[in-house]
Amino acid sequence: MAERKRKPDQHSDLQRARAAARATERAAAQLAEFADRVSAVVGPAEMAEYDALIAREAAALSDRVEAFGRLGFGAPSLDATGPADA
């Protein structure tokens, strides 16, 4: 017997996108809190914390882009290496 193709669960996809957007917001807020309390003298502990925060923010952003992509939303390139209008 042939398998029936599973219809995408749009409600679950929308819930996932909302959760991913909130997670991205939390990750950005944590980075902003770090910026508010860090001093101009950067030591190994601050570098390690910053690296962890940036990794968390990048993972959250990736999850958000993927979740909204499932809903049909596209995102322009997030590559910040060149000019925005190039």
pLDDT, residue 86, reads 45
Residue 27's Cβ-count burial label (10 Å; 0-12, 13-18, 19+) is: buried
**DSSP state string for 22-86:** HHHHHHHHHHHHHHHH--SS--HHHHHHHHHHHHHHHHHHHHHHHHHHHTT--------SS-TT-
Would residue 53 count as lying in a domain? yes
Amino acid at 81: T
The pTM of this model reads: 0.74
Would residue 19 count as lying in a domain? no
Q: What is the domain count for the chain?
A: 1
Would residue 58 count as lying in a domain? yes
Span 39-71, pLDDT tens digits: 999 999 999 999 999 999 999 999 999 999 999
Would residue 8 count as lying in a domain? no
Maximum mean pLDDT: which of 6-15, 25-34, 65-74: 25-34
Mean pLDDT of the chain: 86
Would residue 23 count as lying in a domain? no
Would residue 5 count as lying in a domain? no
Range of the domain at 62: 41-72
Would residue 57 count as lying in a domain? yes
